[in-house]
């Protein structure tokens, strides 16, 4: 499960799950291209990776801008691994979802994810070495939940995209898989769990009885990126403590 000599790209790398995924790839030996809109966050993470003996480059890119994605991500000399991580959620009742919120979530979670995956796949095909694309889905790509109708819709879309890409890109030795984490404690999600009602709801549905940590996702990223998963494509690996087993 080593990634020495490979180049991995991580979108939304500046914080949370993206940061953890980038650290995981770098610790496994990959040179990591860190992608987000915020140079300062990327610089901090790149410094941390280099301090651990890893290799990292920064790439400021707004994944909502297809032109930037094509020029900056599509313009990289080599991509062996993509962690297609950038995403968002605005929890609210279905009947209260505004057109603005609907468009914002769809544009980032589906349209931008598609455009980034397409740019990376083109580079992998051109390189002739194959590759591994890992889509950041969610347990909500397999189930429904209150106050998450748009998010669930987008993550179900990512699951379908993953399967279709896997079938089409197999001829180029490009593997495409998804991971589906449960609620992961990050600086952005931690405030949600200050609500006892929400925390109780989440824990009641996680069979293992605890919330996820970023470290729980890191091993799955390295596995799916590595030769250890050489015959795995079109799969969805849930990291959900048993949520979707109910």
Per-residue pLDDT of the chain (246 residues; tens, 9 = 90+): 899 999 999 999 999 999 999 999 999 999 999 999 999 999 999 999 999 999 999 999 999 999 999 999 999 999 999 999 999 999 999 999 999 999 999 999 999 999 999 999 999 999 999 999 999 999 999 999 999 999 999 999 999 999 999 999 999 999 999 999 999 998 778 888 889 999 999 999 999 999 999 999 999 999 999 999 999 999 999 999 999 999
Please provide residue 87's backbone torsions phi and psi, each rounded to the nearest 5 degrees.
Answer: -170, 175
Residue 59: per-residue pLDDT: 98
Cα–Cα distance measured from residue 227 to residue 188, given in angstroms and rounded to the nearest whole number: 33
With beta carbons less than 8 A apart as the criterion, state whether 42 and 36 touch: yes
Domains in the chain (CATH in brackets) are 7-237 (3.40.50.720)
What is the set of active-site residues? 151, 155
Q: Which sign, positive or negative, has the C-alpha torsion 71, 119, 5, 34? A: positive
Residue 146: per-residue pLDDT: 95
Residue 136: per-residue pLDDT: 98
β-strand partners of 31: 7, 55
Model pTM score? 0.97
Residue 191: per-residue pLDDT: 86
């Amino acid at each position: 499960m080593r990634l020495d000599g490979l180049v991995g790209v991580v979108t939304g790398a500046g914080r949370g799950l993206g940061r953890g995924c980038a650290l995981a790839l770098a610790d496994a030996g990959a040179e990591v291209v860190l992608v987000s809109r915020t140079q300062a966050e990327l610089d901090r993470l790149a410094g941390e990776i280099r301090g651990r003996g890893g290799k990292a480059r920064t790439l400021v890119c707004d994944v909502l801008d297809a032109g930037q994605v094509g020029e900056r991500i599509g313009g990289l000399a080599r991509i062996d691994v993509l962690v297609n991580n950038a995403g968002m959620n605005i929890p609210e009742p279905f009947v209260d979802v505004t057109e603005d919120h609907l468009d914002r979530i769809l544009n980032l979670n589906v349209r931008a994810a598609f455009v980034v995956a397409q740019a990376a796949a083109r580079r992998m095909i051109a390189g002739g070495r194959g590759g591994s694309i890992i889509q950041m889905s969610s347990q909500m790509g397999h189930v429904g939940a209150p106050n998450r109708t748009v998010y669930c819709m987008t993550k179900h879309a990512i699951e379908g995209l993953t399967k279709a890409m896997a079938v089409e890109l197999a001829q180029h030795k490009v593997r495409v898989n998804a991971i589906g984490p449960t609620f992961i404690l990050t600086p952005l999600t931690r405030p949600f769990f200050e609500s006892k009602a929400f925390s109780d709801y989440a824990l009641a549905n996680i069979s293992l009885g605890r919330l996820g940590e970023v470290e729980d996702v890191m091993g799955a990223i390295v596995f799916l990126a590595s030769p250890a998963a050489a015959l795995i494509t079109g799969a969805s690996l849930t990291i959900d403590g048993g949520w979707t087993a109910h």
